[in-house]
Amino acid sequence: KEKHKILHRLLQNST
Amino acid sequence: SHLLVIEPEKIYAMPDPTMPDGYIKALTTLCDLADRELVVIIGWAKHIPGFSSLSLADQMSLLQSAWMEILVLNIVFRSLACEEELVYAEDYVVDEEHARLSGLLDLHVAILPLVRRYKKLSMEKEEFVTLKAIALSNSDSTHIENVEAVQRLQDSLHEALQDLEGAHNTEDPRRTGKLLMTLPLLRQTAAKAVQHFYSIKVQGKVPMHKLFLEMLEAKA
C-alpha cells in the first residue's frame, strides 16, 4: 500500500 | 443521468512551446496529460454511485486495474467525430502523419480499431459514460476484498445500461450486449498502451509525474 500513496491520498480527499 | 452530471470537464494538453518538436516532446506532453487526467479520473470514480461505499483497498484495486481502459475510452469517445485522428485532448489532435513523426504510431494504430468499432455502433454519450463506469467496476482485479460489494456495483451499472437501452433503443434488443462485447477490445487496447508507456518508462528519456508512474507500476 505504501507504494501507492498518491492514489491512496487522492481517494481519501473529500473533494 | 447521474453519470452524465459527473462527467469531467474538457482536458487540455498544453504542449510546452519551448520544447523542440519530436518524439520526446510528444511523449512528455502525453505523459503529463495522462498524469493530470488520472487525478480527474480518481475524482470522477468517487462520484459513481456505490463506488465510495467500497473499502479504500477495493477502490484502489479497481482503479489500479482499469485506469488505462478509462483513459483510452475517453480518447476514443473524443475521437468519434474525427476521421482517423485521435483526440488525446481538446488541443492535441493527432493524425497518422503526426503520430509517425512523433513516435506515437504504435499507440495510434492500437487505438484506432476501437474508435472504428464504436463509430460503427454510433455510441452515444449516455452509453459511453455508463460503459466507462462498467469498465471500472469490471476490472477483474485479483485483489478484491469484498467480491459481493463489487458485484453489486457491477449489477447496478449493468442495470443502468439495460434501462438506457430499454428506453432508447427498442429497435435493437441486442444493443446492450453489443456494447458489452466491445470490452475485450478495450482491455486489449489498454494493455498495449500500458506496454507502450512502460517501455518508455524503462528507457528513461521522458519525464513522468509520480501518479502516472505509480499507476504504471501497479500494472507491472
Chain B residues within 8 Å of chain A (Cβ atoms): 39, 42-43, 46, 56-57, 59-60, 63-64, 210-211, 214-215, 217-218
Share of chain B above pLDDT 70, in %: 99
Residues in B closer than 8 angstroms to A5, CB to CB, are 214
ipTM confidence: 0.88
Place of cell 485522428: B85
Between B172 and B76, the higher pLDDT residue: B76
Neighboring chain A residues of B66 at a CB cutoff of 8 Å: none
CA torsion, ordered B97, B98, B104, B107, to nearest 10 deg: -60
Mean pLDDT rounded to a whole number for chain B = 95
**pLDDT of A14:** 63
- Evaluate if residue B168 carries a pLDDT over 80: no
Does position B176 have pLDDT exceeding 90, yes or no?
A: yes
Q: Which amino acid would we find at residue B102?
A: S
Instruction: Indicate the pLDDT class of residue A2, thresholds 50, 70 and 90.
Output: low
pLDDT tens per residue, range B51-84: 999 999 999 999 999 999 999 999 999 999 999 9
Q: Find which of B56, B62, B67 to mutate to test the A interface (most A CBs within 10 Å of its CB).
A: B56
Give the model's pLDDT for residue B111: 98
CB nearest to A10's CB, from B39, B57, B64 = B39
| CA distance readout (Å), A9 to B34, B42, B50, B91, B217 | 18, 10, 19, 30, 17
**For residue B44, is pLDDT > 70?**
yes
- CB contact under 8 Å between A10 and B43, yes or no, is yes
- pLDDT band at residue B172 under the 50/70/90 scheme: confident
Phi and psi, residue B122, nearest 5° = 50, 55
B135-155 per-position pLDDT tens digit:
999 999 999 999 999 999 999
A chain contacts of residue B46, beta-carbon cutoff 8 Å: 11
User: How confident is the model over B26-46, as a mean pLDDT?
Assistant: 97
Question: How confident is the model at residue B220, as a pLDDT?
Answer: 81
**B33-39 contact pairs (CB < 8 A, 24+):** B33/B88, B33/B89, B33/B92, B34/B71, B34/B197, B34/B212, B35/B208, B35/B209, B35/B210, B35/B211, B35/B212, B36/B11, B37/B11, B37/B71, B37/B74, B38/B67, B38/B71, B38/B211, B38/B212, B38/B215, B39/A10, B39/B211
Chain B positions touching A14 (Cβ under 8 A) are none
